[in-house]
Amino acid sequence: MPRRVPDRLLARLLPEQADGVRRVSFAGMRWVPPAAMVAAAAQAHRAHDEGVPFVLVGPTDEEPAHYAARMRLGRVLAELGATHDLPAVREHDRQEDLIEVIRLDSVHAVDRLARMVYRKVRPRGAELAAALHRSVAEVGENVMDHSGTIGYLAAQTLPRRRELLIAIADSGVGVLATLAHRGAQSHEDAIGLATREWVSRYDQPDRGRGLPSALRLIGREQGSLYIASGTAGIRHFPSTRRYSAVDDAYQGTIVEARIPLGPAAAHPQSPPGDAAAR
């Protein structure tokens, strides 16, 4: 059996409930990754649907607190009737570098993420960029199909690390409930099945390719893919996997991809299906 380590990210995202209030705390975090922000938004959405007050305690340090606010996490929480202590910040147009926390409730939202991936990866090769464009689009569409609720997504370019970080999360039924009929007996089993070719909740022959394709492509570029659901998390590296766990189950699924970026292309092309390419 693989050795498991405590999943610190997932533990942060397990809401505490006291006095009828559901609370998630980012206090003490030196950086708030997109995965944490989309998962918090998803939990707030679930609390809203269940009629439970939700509170986010923001980072103690000013820099990560401003970053979370710049990613419009506070605005999303406020729209859901949740309470937070994130600061108000001046917004700038940085569409080329990030996608703020947004609802994953339409093909348009999925397409925006897929196109950003294409645009950023294109310098490493058109074929790779097109393949990742398709994989990311399918992963996003699968969240809408499988979760039973609204998901959230966000993306951020990290220039110093030459890396694109994307995250999708929901607070739905989770991977185990989705793939139990395929033989999954634990959250870890379910995550493993979700990364196998042609394994899906549905029986259609074109299903079950999004995550396996993304995993293969990202691994080939020396990136990583993290999938968490329930009590289990697995971070997939090119040649290894890191298993992590928490005591209580996270309600839903989180997918985070770290994609290395190459040097800027001299003449970047439009992503598949773009009007400029027709």
- Tens-binned pLDDT, residue by residue, of the chain (278 aa): 577 899 999 999 999 999 999 999 999 999 999 999 999 999 999 999 999 999 999 999 999 999 999 999 999 999 999 999 999 887 666 666 889 999 988 888 888 888 988 888 888 888 888 888 888 887 777 766 655 678 899 999 988 889 999 999 999 888 888 877 777 889 998 888 888 854 554 444 454 456 788 888 888 889 999 999 999 999 999 999 999 999 999 999 999 999 998 654 433 344 444 433 32
How does DSSP classify residue 208?
A: S
> For 107-153, what is the HEC assignment?
HHHHHHHHHHHHHHHHHHCHHHHHHHHHHHHHHHHHHHHHCCCCEEE
- pLDDT tens readout for residues 64-85: 999 999 999 999 999 999 999 9
CA distance 278 to 276: 6
Give CATH superfamily name and number for 4-262. Answer: Histidine kinase-like ATPase, C-terminal domain (3.30.565.10)
How does DSSP classify residue 4?
A: E
Residue 91 CB coordination number (10 Å): 11
> What pTM does this model have?
0.86
Return the axis-axis angle of helices 126-146 and 210-220, rounded to nearest 10°.
140
- Owner of token pair 């998962």: 39
Closest C-alpha among 22, 4, 21, 2 to residue 13: 22
- Owner of token pair 């409730």: 105
- pLDDT tens readout for residues 196-225: 854 554 444 454 456 788 888 888 889 999
